Amino acid sequence: MKGCCLCSLVIHIIYNSCAISRSVTVWQKVALFGWHVDYTLPVIVVPLPALEFFAMKIVIAGAGEVGSHLARLLVDDGHDVTVIDPDADRLEKVALTSDVITMQGSTTSFEVLQGSGIYKADLLIAVTPSEDTNIVTCMLSKKMGAKRTIARIDHNEYLDFENRSTFSKAGVDYMFYPEVIAATEIVNLLSQTSSSEFIDFAGGKMVLLSFKLEENAPIIGKMLLEAVTDRKTLRYRTVAITRDEKTIIPRGDDRFEVDDQIYVIANRDGIDEMLAFSGKENIDVHNLMILGGSRIGTKVATMLDHRMNIKIIESNKERCYTLSELFDHAMVINGDGRNSELLMEEGIQKTDAFVAVTGNSETNILACLFAKQVGVQRTIAEVENMDYIQLAESIGIDTIINKKLITAGHIFKFTQDTDVQTVRYLSGTNAEVLEYIVKPNSQATLHAIKDLDFPKNATIGGIIRGGKGIVAAGDAEIQAHDHVIVFSIESDPTEVGEFFN
């Protein structure tokens, strides 16, 4: 009887194995091994994990907006997530939206960390509102056995090379400053004003641009294949289209329509040509108005202080005094940005670009709408309420900045088995852009791109090889150590990543 039970166990293991196609019945598989089976025996159920995916044990310190958003994303990707926070109400909200384990208590408590299973954690992410708490949590977690630690910080000096090594030795493996990342993104967008999304890869060797097509765009009504002048030497390629709030991977016979939001991969040589086909042109920004003297607003002004004329409008008088001492040229105005008369008095109608980065999403949206009404050509709004993102984009705001999406992209790459350099979640869509480094002998190197059985909801947009950006065509072949840019819509990241691993 013991032998029969063992046989039943082996049957189940064979059934769950990836080695034999499941189109073959379990009994046929057993016959392959030459075994006789009693068909009346029950099969012992032994659930086995998929061989290509290893769920990580992840502990998140902090159940605020960033921590809650990360928890949802990581649980959806199949990871085992525990969230720690001293606030019971926050934990309850997280538990209602995600299948997570919650623990109430201080993230710097030995007892709480021990109870969270930190000793077997693959990753600790500290995203509480306190920088000091995040750093101490990482240090303790590393000492208690966490394999890797990540801390959200508020001081840019910690990211200096000589300081990073000090933190690394103390147990903080990686630090990120969401406000600096957001400010850098805004500065990049102000230099590429035709696009609502701007992501550069390998120092600009390839870029991803996104913009809405208007009636005057030359490509309206044309198929994707007709929008390319030379198919043998592609310089740009449309990798996705958002239409009626749905994002798709287009094929060659799909046509462009008015109000399409298109996502285009281009190398340096293809940017101008792509803009001409799309009816877009860059404007030079000389006059910039920033609503909100927040950390993001301050960083943007610091980066651009010597490059353009800047006005910062801040409602807090004490904050205005502090800001006025930081800049050589930028002008700081104390006032309420919701007051349209004040904005007009300060010359909003004469500015080239308007950036709203107050702590209030509604204020930022309304202020950008007013800026559009008075003729400002470029508007950027910080919108932290995820429910408002699509609304804000649909009513004409050019670009939305969201710190949660920025943070998620920077942390997501640490949860991948494959070598991921860049991850970006695109606002207002269910899409993401990933940059993989191709390993030798991986699936992607065995065939031309058109012959790869690549997931239908993902597409390879570009390849960076030897310092050169190559727009990916179907007959292109990927080589080991290439950087490959993938546009993905609700695809399993493990399924995509295994092609490059």
DSSP 8-state code for residue 146: -
The CATH number of residue 447's host domain is: 3.30.70.1450
SS3 content of the chain, % helix, strand, coil (to 5): 35, 25, 40
Q: Which residues pair with 150 in a beta bridge?
A: 125, 174
How far from each other are the two terminal CA atoms of the chain, in whole angstroms? 44
What's 339's domain CATH number? 3.40.50.720
Same domain, 42 and 99: no
244-291 tens-digit pLDDT: 888 888 888 889 999 888 888 888 777 787 787 777 777 889 999 999
Percent of the chain with pLDDT over 70: 85
263 assigned to some structural domain: no
Residue-range definition of the domain harbouring residue 325: 287-376
Reported as a pLDDT band with limits 50, 70 and 90, residue 469 is confident
Is residue 38 very low, low, confident or very high in pLDDT (cuts 50, 70, 90)? very low
End residue of a domain, out of 176, 209, 231 = 176
**Are residues 171 and 63 part of one domain?**
yes
In this structure, what is the dihedral angle of CA atoms 91, 97, 98, 102, given to the nearest 10 degrees? 10
Region 437-459: mean pLDDT is 88
Q: Which of 431, 455, 461 is nearest to 261 (CA)?
A: 431
Q: Which of 96-105, 182-191, 244-253, 275-284 has the lowest mean pLDDT?
A: 275-284
Per-residue pLDDT, 30: 35
Residue 114 amino acid letter: Q
pLDDT digits (tens, 9 = 90+) for 131-141: 999 999 999 99
Question: Is 80 a residue whose pLDDT tops 90?
Answer: yes
Q: Is 189 contained in some domain?
A: no
pLDDT, average across residues 364-378: 94
Q: Does 267 fall in a domain?
A: no
**In-domain check, residue 399:** no
Instruction: For residue range 423-433, list pLDDT tens digits in order.
Output: 777 776 778 88
35 found inside a domain: yes
Output the CA angle 237-243-244, nearest 5 degrees.
170
Residues 353 and 427 in one domain: no
495 and 434 in contact (C-beta within 8 Å)?
no
Do residues 164 and 70 both lie within one domain? yes
Same domain as 76, residue 16: no
**Same-domain pairing of 346 and 368:** yes
Q: Are 168 and 181 in contact (CB under 8 A)?
A: no
Q: Are residues 369 and 459 in the same domain?
A: no
Per the domain annotation, does 128 fall within a domain? yes
- Look at residue 23 and tell me whether its pLDDT is greater than 50: no
Is there a single domain that holds both residue 161 and residue 61? yes
Number of domains the chain is built from: 4
71 and 167 belong to one structural domain: yes
SS3 86: coil
| 78 and 17, same domain (yes or no) | no
Residues 21 and 106 in one domain: no
What mean pLDDT is predicted for residues 409-428? 70
User: Of 11-20, 57-66, 201-210, 242-251, which gets the smallest average pLDDT?
Assistant: 11-20
**Mean pLDDT (the chain, rounded):** 82
The residue among 133, 154, 176 that closes a domain is 176
CA-to-CA separations, 17 to 20, 367, 453, in angstroms, rounded: 6, 57, 21
What pLDDT digit, counting tens, does each position of 307-350 carry?
Answer: 999 999 999 999 999 999 999 899 999 999 889 999 999 999 99
Report yes or no on 105 lying in a domain: yes
User: 11-18 long-range contacts, Cβ below 8 Å, gap at least 24?
Assistant: 11/37, 11/43, 12/43, 12/44, 12/45, 12/46, 13/46, 13/48, 16/46, 16/47, 16/48, 17/48, 18/50, 18/51, 18/52
Q: List the strands of the sheet with 420-425, edge to edge.
A: 420-425, 431-437, 483-489, 458-465, 468-471
Checking if the pLDDT of 204 tops 70, the result is: yes
Residue 33 has what pLDDT? 36
Verify that 92 and 166 share a domain, yes or no: yes
Q: Kindly indicate the confidence band of residue 355, based on its pLDDT and cuts at 50, 70 and 90.
A: very high
Look at residue 203 in the predicted model and tell me its pLDDT.
Answer: 74
Residue 418 is which amino acid? T
Of 149, 176, 203, the residue that ends a domain is 176
Nearest alpha carbon to residue 252 among 473, 99, 435, 489: 473
Structural domain contains residue 31 = yes
Query: What does the pLDDT read at residue 234?
Result: 77
